[in-house]
Amino acid sequence: MKYLISTFVLLLSIHASGQYTPATEAKIDSLINLLTLEEKVAMCHAQSKFSTPGVDRLGIPELWMSDGPHGVRPEISWDSWAHAGWTNDFSTAFPALTCLAATFNPELSYKYGFALGQEARYREKDILLGPGVNIYRTPLNGRNFEYMGEDPLLASKLVVPYIKGVQENGVAACVKHYVLNNQEKWRSHINVEISDRALYEIYLPAFKAAVIEGEVWSIMGAYNQYRGQFCSHNERLNNTILKGEWGFDGVVITDWGAAHDTRQSAMYGLDLEMGTGTDGLTTSAENAYDYYYLAKPFLELLRAGEIPEEVVNDKVRRILRTMYRTNMNTSKGFGKMNSNTHSEIAREVATEGIVLLKNESSLLPLDVNTTKTIAVIGENATRSMTIGGGSSELKAKYEISPLVGIQKAFSSATILHSMGYASGPSLYGETIPTVLDADSLYKAAIETAKKADFIVFIGGLNKSYQQDCEGADRLVYGLPYGQDELIKELAGLNKNFSLVLVSGNAIEMPWIDEVPTILQAWYLGSEAGFAIADIITGKVNPSGKLPFTFPVALEDNAAHHFGELSYPGDSINQYYKEDILVGYRWHDTKEIEPLFAFGHGLSYTQFELTKIGADQKKYALNDIIFLSCEVKNSGKVAGATVVQVYVGKEKSKVERAKKELKGFKKIYLEPGESQTIEIPISINNLAFYNETISGWEVEEGAYTIYVGEASDKITREIAISVK
């Protein structure tokens, strides 16, 4: 009886404590002492597709997860990938993370994360499987649309507020996929060989920022291998770096089916195993979940004394810590779903992320009062982009198509529409050809276009298999379904021609000289059509900047320059031969002109950057450079630009990129308005990772600061020195 009373008092104090605090650790240790070995092991693996078991007798709840990172995924069946068929699991579809990255706006990233966290909380999810911060290495990666671009600083600056926004709702963000999951082809087994310098300088920083600055509560391990060990149970990645160097106190979760060995899973930092061998088809005399690597096989090794019990205790401690922060946090809110505020945030992110790539003769914006007839051509004008794409699929409460957005914006004009091309159904894991005749669609589009004063072509990619989709990479760099030929024909018909690209990736543009206006529109979520119309009409002045480089040809990309062993590998191993020279670092250093540069993005107004200077010319370690700049909107409409600060080091003892992004600031100005901004840059952030000492080093000597509005649009260079 005394035991039962003390247990009841302990649980009362646990739930009354409200949320996780340092004092909670003692309560967690007490609770661990009450758990049997079998109960501890059961907490370390799944019981269904998206949940892990609690302990009923002690009042420990189940832990429920949902895919993200652009919205809360519709409910999935207990043990299959089929939709559960609920009628109350509609969500707000937020723009894809490439769009969020293109905003260059950390404040907006927080709003995005907070709204998404509210929706996850309302759906009673404890862990949201996002955001993704894998580096954009190749434009063929089918999952690039879920990530935050090619630059580690940009991804770091945007992931932190996203995490804080989500977790403020008592929902754990789960940053993924840790690490080097930069392609979908052979992702389940490919072994990545990479230098320590490239690992630390390019591929780890956003994860490190998520842990140290964002204080993220969970991390998802990647499918692939790193130096011969699978990432989800990798001794160096998990034990040495994540939990050692960075002091991560949360839970490491596998990607679904990414565990491969019991002993390594136990000893090399994995805490929660999900998705192993459960494809909905598994049949056995006993529950298949009992045979996960961290299930019965783990229990047997613990019972035999081959693995110390403290190993499972540490895993359970991390799981309970996550519960205190989420489902056992009694001060958490109730969340909100599909609110007007969420729609407004989705639209704000979408409009701020759209990038005006080209605008000859200021063809855009269009006047809603004088434009008479618009031909909207392209399947993507009406195709749903919230479904498909793999695990980031959404069941949106609504989705405004580009065609509807344009129709509503130009209510007094005649809007014509023709598909022009067709791609077939959106399926994951299979390419289904269309049953529509391509020649007929092509001819109909041409005839429709001839009747209009202005042509808007809305094409690009979609979220079908082997395009922007999980599970496979793109097969070619160019546009599919004969779009290139159609674009050339339409551009020749009418000089009043605007191209809207819906994609999460760069594409080849053989027609670039013939097309006067190009918008990069991403996957924009529920408010897609309204956001595109806002930009076309000038209701919103475009301010998005590219978060990755568009190469002219695929071989201009660094990963592809070095041949198949660099990408995609030989199916067993691949070697990141470009090392640190990813994206614009490669183009700048090797003097390879891009189609569109990192940071590029035009506006309907003009900005002037003047009075650019650093507070001094000589610096020491631990100093801060205060870079100042006066920004003036010299045009006739309000707008925003992003001042970007890059730093380069000549005569280095190691190979360096010509310049690297070290700071940025987005600024909004009325016509004629000027503001002086200041961007701080730590001298310590100019360090390179020195492999000979396995640590960071700031070199003495001369550096150059580059200030501008894109990596290829530099207004001023400033020489400084570091002692």
Q: Identify the H or E element spanning 491.
A: helix 483-493
Radius of gyration of the chain (CA): 26
Which residue's structure tokens are 């996550």?
322
In sequence order, the 6+-apart residues with CB closer than 8 A to the CB of 514 are: 487, 488, 491, 492
**What is the C-alpha separation between 164 and 215, in angstroms, rounded?**
8
Q: CA 81, 85, 88: angle at the middle one, nearest 5?
A: 120
**What is the C-alpha separation between 160 and 210, in angstroms, rounded?**
6
Side chain identity at residue 244, one-letter code: G
Integer angstrom CA distances of residue 419 from 439, 444, 448 = 12, 8, 10
Side chain identity at residue 380, one-letter code: N
**Strand runs (DSSP E) across 426-535, as ranges?**
454-460, 497-502, 517-520
Residue in 574, 399, 603, 470 with CA at minimum distance from that of residue 177: 470
3-state helix, strand, coil in the chain (%, to 5): 30, 20, 45
In sequence order, the 6+-apart residues with CB closer than 8 A to the CB of 651 are: 701, 702
**What is the C-alpha separation between 380 and 501, in angstroms, rounded?**
9
Q: 146: which strand partners?
A: none
Query: Is 255 among the residues known to form the active site?
Result: yes
Q: At 497, give phi and psi (nearest 5°).
A: -130, 130
Name the active-site residue from 255, 468, 473, 579: 255
**What is the C-alpha separation between 28 and 415, in angstroms, rounded?**
63
231 close to 179: Cβ distance less than 8 angstroms:
yes
SS3 287: coil
Q: At 408, give phi and psi (nearest 5°).
A: -70, -35
Residues with catalytic function:
255
